[in-house]
Chains A and B, each alone.
Chain A
């Protein structure tokens, strides 16, 4: 989550310059004596899309340590999607120093020390931080509203990349933010890197964060929505296909097919994905980029289950193997400039497919439609005690998904196959108790349920 804005007090406190801070994440503040449990707290707050307040040891650029009372808060847009995180830092080292306790410093010690020595109670600091965060929320939401209009008028290409620098510019010109700068160190992190707010990314952080780890071309598609549209596309996919995110999200990826695409390859995909339960499949087929360039796409599509074991998404991983095809002598090169047909899928292709599949399986395992999957649901409460962070109440990402999908529901029991050469038809079969085939992946599937009331 890169930092897109930091106040001047932040630079003062940490000793870093804007070049070193912007577009990096704040791990550079951590060091050997930073408590790992606090780091986990922060990570888990992001995973659960909630606030957190921790007191942890940070390091300035010159290597000196300071005790950072850190408050992290998500900023959501009007659809409930987390777009940014605000981090507020307060240096409470002085108070702790006055107590002269070497070694590991506990939160309570720091709180007591702060209260006794600095004449300013810890809870005041925490409340101040929450106020600052609230103000920044407002700022950010105003910025989002403001920047959306100019973005709409822009050409679709390259829209996403332009967003962060623009926001940065607008923020620094804002009067209120300048005031905040003077008193508080804070930084704003972009949570949905390169994902334009318009693109309807309805994924919770707990899924989006691991997806952003994957440096390959892939898409996630949602079979519960009509025509199984793409709901997430990686930057590498956009580069490979030359489309922008807006042109891709919300569409079924059959748009990659073209005149010379072999219908049999497409049929292989359809057969596997409409089976009950859907099966993983690898097919190399001819696809076309936006500019019409044909390429051989080694495509692996696999069903993903959520924490309840229900089918949640399909993942599609694309590898351009056209060059490999040229190097292999598999029949004559076709006329009219088509790349030669590739041979069998190589090991490294398999590894590339499977590593992405595995990583996304782990991520999807944390999701669950109603209950929030592996995220705790806890009451909204005040300040954390003893290092735990109490979360705000969480609404699962599926609520937003329903909104974004326009409430499209699929009849249980009907199977809708797309006209023409559909790539990812909607799998609308009602859940059937599949027989258990020991050891095979495709058994014991709770089945695919119609969307109904998601």
Chain B
């Protein structure tokens, strides 16, 4: 149940096995490759920015450009839209998502509500425990090697060094392709699933290298209205096979509007999460800024950095720390890979304890990354008609960690002590922070784990 991914139609495993056989051979697929090396001169990707900006995540062409000019759609953006539209005409989706009414709820944040009865009408039985973030991959359960071949749009991989981005029909992909698959119960237009190294059967957990693939995808599409999201198990992922979701919505997500308060600058290194060694006093050119999200119903962090690789390292390591602590979490990549939102959540835990009010349960929304970002897919017309910003706030507040819990998490993940209220500074505070972080770490280890 819920808003997790929902890849293949029904439980047609027999037909699915045939498709898997086709996928197992690295055979022909449409291939979208992205220029990944620095100094790559992929003409369509650059939009005229200096060449040394290519490697950097925050010089995302899409977001910069869209601040008012006439950019050109990227190759991946066009290909994604085209192939999705084609599948729609072929009738592969369970319903026409463009016929689902959508509106912005009055208020400052502009929460987006959608009435979508079709998405909930065929519920996939939950096959996974909601109290465990890391579970081993089970090939007997549904996974993306069983997806129908016609639902696979293309493979996505780095281009040869120095080559431009390209899109080839019927090309040979690598032995371990990352594929893009349609979501047949879309939340909005263009809803796809990115499955990195699909044949390696990775469970639904984040790691630096897979985060990097998702960031590259966001950058390559170059459209700030396409975000990439991730739900861990226990945070309403329904399939334990590594996948990210993405779709187009031509409006800012409410979380993107919320202010942030700088928390720490982290230079990613080999050090384990929580080690104070990672927080160096000098903010080097490769340091990633981690900020606290403020004035938003779900407490969390925003990661912004000078390069995709650095951001992926920080986000991946933070996720691994949360996995170790059995903390369910969600992640959103916004602004074409320049901003990553990270939220630990506890809705399932509170549900299990009976702490969620009945009227919220009745709405029937399981708060995954899109709901947390502010896009609410509702299944009852009366909820849609009467939806308010206050209602959205109430639902999302039940998802959030408390201030104390988040502070403990911060200490564990980023080595920060002080509840994120201190403004960012270099120098002395870092050294003070080391001692405090070590103390907090000890404290966190002694504390109760997040999930029962």
Partner-B contacts on A (CB < 8 A): 1-2, 24-27, 30-34, 36-37, 39-40, 42-44, 46-47, 85, 101-104, 106, 109, 189, 193, 206, 209-210, 212-215, 280, 305, 307-309, 347, 350-355, 357-359, 361-366, 368, 371-378, 386-388, 436-446
Q: Are B102 and A40 in contact (CB under 8 A)?
A: no
- Sorted nearest first, the 7 A-B pairs with minimum C-beta distance are A358-B81, A25-B69, A355-B82, A354-B82, A374-B251, A355-B78, A309-B99
Q: Find chain B residues with CB under 8 A from A1 CB.
A: 68-70
B189 and A362 form a contact (CB under 8 A)? yes
Interface flags for B82-117 (1: CB within 8 Å of A; 0: not) read 111110110111111011111110111010100000
Does B190 sit within 8 A of A, measured CB to CB?
yes
B225 touches A362 (CB 8 A): yes
In the assembled complex, the Cα of A353 lies from the Cα of B86 at a distance in Å of 10
Which one of B56-64, B352-360, B405-413 is at the interface? B56-64
Q: List 30 A-B contacts (CB under 8 A).
A: A2-B69, A25-B65, A27-B69, A31-B59, A32-B59, A34-B64, A40-B256, A42-B67, A104-B424, A215-B72, A309-B101, A352-B82, A353-B82, A354-B86, A358-B80, A362-B189, A365-B188, A365-B189, A365-B250, A368-B103, A371-B103, A372-B104, A373-B102, A375-B251, A376-B106, A378-B108, A386-B295, A439-B95, A444-B96, A444-B118
- Known contacts A27-B64, A355-B78, A365-B250: does B283 contact A37 (CB below 8 Å)? no
Tell me, yes or no, whether B403 is within 8 Å of chain A by CB: no
Q: Is the CB of B58 within 8 A of A361?
A: no
Task: Return B416 CB to nearest CB of chain A, in Å.
Answer: 15
* B300 CB–A CB distance under 8 Å: no
Q: Which residue of B lies closest to A102 (CB)?
A: B426
User: Which chain B residues have a beta carbon within 8 Å of chain A's beta carbons?
Assistant: 53, 56, 58-60, 63-73, 77-86, 88-89, 91-96, 98-104, 106-108, 110, 112, 118, 169, 188-190, 224-225, 248-252, 256-257, 259-262, 265, 283, 289, 291, 295, 304, 306, 335, 338-339, 423-426
Are B73 and A214 in touch, CB under 8 angstroms? yes
Cβ-neighbour of B67 out of A39, A305, A442, A446 (below 8 A): A39
Contacting pair A351 B72 (CB below 8 A)? no
Contact between chains at B295 and A103 (CB < 8 Å)? no
* Contact present for B304 and A36 (CB under 8 Å): yes
User: Smallest CB–CB gap between A128 and chain B, Å?
Assistant: 22
Q: For the complex, give the distance between the alpha carbons of A210 and B249 in Å.
A: 12
| Extra pairs beyond A36-B304, A374-B250, A438-B94 (8, CB < 8 Å) | A40-B224, A101-B423, A101-B425, A213-B70, A215-B73, A350-B86, A355-B78, A358-B190
* Cross-chain contact of A210 among B112, B189, B250, B304 (Cβ < 8 A): B250
Return chain B residues, CB-CB under 8 Å to A213: 70-73
Tell which of B91, B249, B256 touches A37, judged by Cβ atoms closer than 8 Å: B256
Q: How far is the CA of A173 from the CA of B412 in the complex (A)?
A: 63
Residues of A within 8 A of B96 (CB): 440-445
CA distance A103 to B188 in the complex (A): 37
Question: Is A376 a contact of B98 with CB atoms below 8 Å?
Answer: no
Complex-state Cα separation, A272 to B248, whole angstroms: 27
Q: How far is the CA of A85 from the CA of B79 in the complex (A)?
A: 32
Tell whether, in the assembled complex, residue B68 and residue A373 are in contact, meaning their CB atoms are under 8 Å apart.
Answer: no
Give min CB distance, B151 to chain A, whole Å: 12
Residue of B nearest to A439 (CB): B91
CB of A320, distance to nearest CB on chain B (Å):
19
Q: How far is the CB of A184 from chain B (nearest CB, A)?
A: 19
Tell me the smallest distance from the CB of B255 to a CB of chain A, in Å. Answer: 10
Complex contact A358–B82 (CB within 8 A): yes
Residue of A nearest to B93 (CB): A439
Question: Hey, which chain B residues are within 8 Å of A440, CB to CB?
Answer: 91, 96
A309 touches B68 (CB 8 A): no
B99 to A446, Cβ gap below 8 A?
Answer: yes
User: Are B104 and A374 interface neighbours, CB within 8 A?
Assistant: yes
Chain A residues in 8 Å Cβ range of B92: 439
- Are the C-beta atoms of A444 and B99 separated by less than 8 Å? yes
Give A436 to B91 CA distance when docked, in angstroms: 12
Q: Which residues does chain A contribute within 8 Å of B289, judged by CB atoms?
A: 103-104
- B106 and chain A: residue at smallest CB distance: A377
Note all chain B residues with C-beta closer than 8 A to A34. Answer: 58, 64
A439–B85 alpha-carbon span in the complex (Å) = 13
The distance from the CB of B161 to the nearest CB of chain A, in whole angstroms, is: 23
Q: Chain A residue with minimal CB distance to B49?
A: A27
A154 to B175, CA, bound (A): 63
Nearest CB of chain A from residue B384's CB, rounded to whole Å: 11
User: What is the chain A residue whose CB lies nearest that of B294?
Assistant: A386
Q: Are A373 and B103 in contact (CB under 8 A)?
A: yes
Residues of B within 8 A of A347 (CB): 169
A25 to B224, CA, bound (A): 17
Q: Is the CB of A305 within 8 A of B99?
A: yes
Q: Which residues of A contact B424 (CB under 8 A)?
A: 103-104
The CA of A174 and the CA of B126, in the complex, are separated in Å by 70
Residue of B nearest to A359 (CB): B81
For A24, the closest partner residue in chain B by CB is B69
CB distance from A25 to the nearest CB of B (A): 3
Least Cβ–Cβ distance between A26 and chain B, in angstroms: 7
Per the bound structure, the CA–CA distance linking A43 and B423 in Å amounts to: 27
A236 to B69, CA, bound (A): 18
Residues of B contacting A209 in the complex (Cβ-Cβ under 8 angstroms) = 66
Closest Cβ of chain A: how far from B330's Cβ, in Å? 19
Is B95 a contact partner of A443 (Cβ separation < 8 A)?
A: yes
Q: Is the CB of B100 within 8 A of A309?
A: yes
Measured between C-beta atoms, what is the minimum distance from A236 to chain B in Å?
12
